[in-house]
Amino acid sequence: MPNVYFLGIDTGTNSSKGALMDEEGRIVALHTVHHEMTNPKPGHYEHDADEDWWGDFCRISNALLENTGIDPQDIKAVGISALGADCLPVDENCRPLRKAILYGIDARATDEIAQLTEMYGEEQILKWYGRPLGSSDVMPKILWIKNKEPEVYEKTYKFLTGSSFITAKLTGNYVVDRFLGLASFNPLYDPDTRQPVPEYCAPVCRPDQLASIQESADIAGYITKEAAKETGLSEGTPVITGTDDSGAEAISCGVVEPGKMMLQVGSSVYMILGTEHLVDDERLWREQFIVPGLCDISAGTNTAGSLTKWYRDNIFPDALAIESMGGRNAYEIMMDQVITIPPGSDGLVTLPYFAGERTPINDSLARGMVFGLTLSHTREHMYRSALEAVGYSIRQQIRIMETHPDAKVDRIIAVGGGALNPLWMQIITDILGKPVSTPLNTVGACFGDCLMAALGVRYPGFEDYPSLTRYIRAGRTYEPDPENHRIYSEYQKIYDELYEQTKESAHRLSELASLKN
């Protein structure tokens, strides 16, 4: 019997990861590479698409083939996902014309958000999005390039997001999946015809500057001769359209029906809850999900792993130095004393808005805060408070979701790098007061990419999305401690109040910082 494998590669904020999966859904090899996110100005976050996206893909695919000795011809399909939705202008040869403007963490287009809101009116914006226009939307990012970098705009052949760029490099075709196209590029595509709408595109771009919409598991094209040389893959290998990293990660943990929630704890937090119908709430997002016929309500916290990384680099440099000399992992060292600190961090509450915030406040000018400091607090108290802050944010958003009858949370599955930290998972579970499970396979989005790649070529056993759950094996379940939940509920009240009580001062600080720059 011939060997059959599927390749999935996911590009994230700080790293990219690839996996090879066999026909039984088993991961046979993994490879990860790291890259840096640049922050050239306050509110500006970027990647070098050639180096960080395409370069990572090539490094990972070649490494997986070399490390396993697998014949490239045995790889029957390639699935990709990438952080989204980003804005990358490319020329006719798919060469980036500037660095990629990243997803909702990038808040440069505040003027364009105001411009578009005034142009279309708040009522029309709410009809399109179910919420105000925000930093997670691509339309204002494109308009920012048109307004601020007209020379780049004039040379732009296509405006792509991360998955679109990698797919184009692999196949020569410009596509975006329906999930991203109808949500993040809204209202530039008609939801029924899936074609660009000329009158809505007119203020920001030409219709021909947009990619074509396909389903995530549809075949986008086939590996070209040039791409085969760079990636080590076989020319002619099918490549699916792919999707964003959060969507792929949701598939990897079984969000294929209403009531299932993915809790992605990576550089940021992203939550996707399957629903039967679109649920409108101005504080959150809603989309038609990757799975045909399934909708979702979702939310995003800008900092999670990026906040722990900030603590590592700036507050625990000694731990980083030990790791750099071949010692223990810096994050493990940072957790040594955190476990001894009680829930509530002895009276500390952190607002994790170190990069502004997406839902539920949708405020790019929000600022981070460590509230309640005394001379008795240590850096470990501050670090635990940061971990707790992520939990408070998650609980705040789930409570909003559960106010809607069609947004019932039956099961929470945590994935991402944060899900590998047992103490952090227990903190989040205690704050939520709900069980939180982790899958046995914690690979994440690249596993979802493998599953959708298999689905895309209609391999036996992968006829539809629900069948994919056969390949998702249960791992650990964290149960909430009732007393810790009671304590955290009191701190949650303070967390919920702090932003409203300080947002005007935070806005003034942001304005002062922007004047300096």
List, in sequence order, every beta strand (DSSP E) within 123-211.
Answer: 158-160, 175-177
The span from the CA of 151 to the CA of 249, in Å, is 37
Confidence of residue 516 (pLDDT cuts 50, 70, 90): low
Q: Quick check: 1 pLDDT over 90? A: no
Q: What is the pLDDT of residues 271-281, one digit of tens each?
A: 999 999 999 99
Q: What is the pLDDT of residues 418-437, one digit of tens each?
A: 999 999 999 999 999 999 99
Q: What is the pLDDT of residues 2-32, one digit of tens each?
A: 699 999 999 999 999 999 999 999 999 999 9
HEC string for 416-485: CHHHHCHHHHHHHHHHHCCCEEEECCCCCHHHHHHHHHHHHCCCCCCCCHHHHHHHCCEEEEECCCHHHH
pLDDT of residue 306: 94
* Element housing 55 (H / E): helix 55-68
Supply the pTM of this predicted model: 0.87
Tell me the mean pLDDT in the region 475-498.
Answer: 98
- Judged by DSSP in three states, 163 sits in helix
Query: Are the C-beta atoms of residues 470 and 462 closer than 8 Å to each other?
Result: no
Indicate the burial class of 460 (C-beta count within 10 angstroms; 0-12, 13-18, 19 or more). exposed
Q: What is the pLDDT of residues 39-82, one digit of tens each?
A: 999 889 999 999 999 999 999 999 999 999 999 999 999 999 99
Q: What is the pLDDT of residues 110-131, one digit of tens each?
A: 999 999 999 999 999 988 988 8
* Element housing 285 (H / E): strand 285-288
Confidence of residue 376 (pLDDT cuts 50, 70, 90): very high
Q: Quick check: 302 pLDDT over 60? A: yes
The span from the CA of 245 to the CA of 339, in Å, is 31
Nearest-CA neighbor of 78 among 456, 459, 461, 465? 456
Nearest-CA neighbor of 348 among 395, 391, 381? 381
* Element housing 493 (H / E): helix 482-516
Q: What is the pLDDT of residues 230-273, one digit of tens each?
A: 999 999 999 999 999 989 999 999 999 999 999 999 889 999 99
The span from the CA of 210 to the CA of 462, in Å, is 31
Q: Where are the domains of the chain?
A: 5-246
Q: Quick check: 209 pLDDT over 90? A: yes
Q: Quick check: 515 pLDDT over 80? A: no
Query: Are the C-beta atoms of residues 351 and 392 closer than 8 Å to each other?
Result: no
The span from the CA of 21 to the CA of 74, in Å, is 11
Q: Determine how β-strand 243-244 pairs with β-strand 75-82.
A: parallel
Query: Are the C-beta atoms of residues 426 and 478 closer than 8 Å to each other?
Result: yes
Q: What is the pLDDT of residues 314-349, one digit of tens each?
A: 999 999 999 999 999 999 999 999 999 999 999 999
Confidence of residue 473 (pLDDT cuts 50, 70, 90): confident
The DSSP result for 28-51, as a single string, is EEEEEEE---B-SSTT--EE-III
The CA–CA distances, whole Å, from 405 to 256, 258, 395, 409 equal 19, 12, 17, 10
Structure tokens at 276: 């039967």
Tell me the mean pLDDT in the region 100-119.
Answer: 94
pLDDT of residue 517: 57
Please give the mean pLDDT across all residues of the chain.
Answer: 95
The span from the CA of 469 to the CA of 387, in Å, is 31
User: What is the identity of the amino acid at 3?
Assistant: N
Per-position b or e across 433-443, b if 16+ CB within 10 A of its CB: ebebbbbebbb
CATH assignment of 5-246, among 1.20.1090.10, 3.30.420.40, 3.10.20.90, 3.30.565.10? 3.30.420.40
